[in-house]
Structure 1
């Protein structure tokens, strides 16, 4: 599937993605990308965040591919569990926080617990890190298996945010391009 034939929805996590974050940079670089805005980035609500994703998918005019980071990944899982998201052709999921088990996860993000464990109704790829402070790799791998997601360990990459050195993140963009190539056209 070609990026130019899709609506790319960027789904940031807790506190949104700042100007140097890879999601913001990709949004600026990919002509068909737009951010799913949330009402309150500091106090997520599961129903509200999931509803915003569903609204954005329904408003899209072409097939949709989701690019989610951190709590945005949890929001995608909840949205998929509540609505089939028929127009979604794939999801690129990066840096899932373990909202159920990790004490370092901000309290505001724990509202996403428990995470759904039903398979996602679209192809997906989960990218995790060996040293993510918010999720052990094995937990990310467990959720990837439950969701039917392809799993990729990016080595020691922290939480895939600007603090861990992921500004433009060209390696991630290459992984995303390969993921897109594997998606069926239309």
Structure 2
């Protein structure tokens, strides 16, 4: 059975965040809990994630913000073999994040390796944590497809994202058998190029 692991970013995902709704709507999904959400440290966060991967076997990652960088740092690690796909929503850039939250994050440098698993980056044109052109660059570096949500901020509660039903549908692209309570589908992401570049679909905003 393929599990879904939820990877929040800096300060976690609070009440009404779409990741919290995901956990409620799909009881088979699991939150990767961190000891300290307010002082993220890459090595400590990786230990927690890899422990969850060892426990749950084959998984789909659903990450937001700094959680996307955590997922991307699995490139080159043996534990990445357990990942069937990753939905990377509003990845942040470490330089921009440090400007907004000085000295709070110890996450090394931006991950620059191609991901060994299928991945889909969901980006915004006015994300304060990552300019769109930078996001497009990293999606290319990681070998990810990219969906442009338009002017959607950081794709969080502040920008109007509570329960995000379209996110479930995007994650279902990685599922082949309908496990974890998601609709079954034949994955189109196995080649890493299901969308053939940037897709602009405003219907994904809600």
Same fold (TM over 0.5): yes
Provide the rounded CA distance (Å) in 2 between the counterparts of 1:64 and 1:42. Answer: 26
Structure 1 equivalent of residue 188 of structure 2: 182
CA RMSD of aligned residues (A): 1.8
TM-score normalised over the length of structure 2: 0.80
Candidates 119, 123, 130, aligned match of 2:125 = 130
CA 1:95 to 1:105, structure 2 compared with 1: closer, same or farther past 3 Å? farther
Candidates 158, 166, 169, aligned match of 1:163 = 158
Provide the rounded CA distance (Å) in 2 between the counterparts of 1:88 and 1:124. Answer: 10
Q: How far does the alpha carbon of each residue in 1:74-111 deviate from its partner, in whole angstroms, 9 at most, with x for none?
A: 11112334444211010000011111356644235652
Structure 1 gap ranges (5+): none
CA contact (8 A) 1:98 1:134 kept: yes
TM-score normalised over the length of structure 1: 0.88
CA contact (8 A) 1:98 1:105 kept: no
Q: Determine whether 1:9 maps to 2:5.
A: yes
Count of aligned pairs between the two proteins = 179
Provide the secondary structure at the position in 2 that maps to 1:79: coil
Structure 2 gap ranges (5+): 176-186, 191-206
Structure 2 equivalent of residue 118 of structure 1: 113
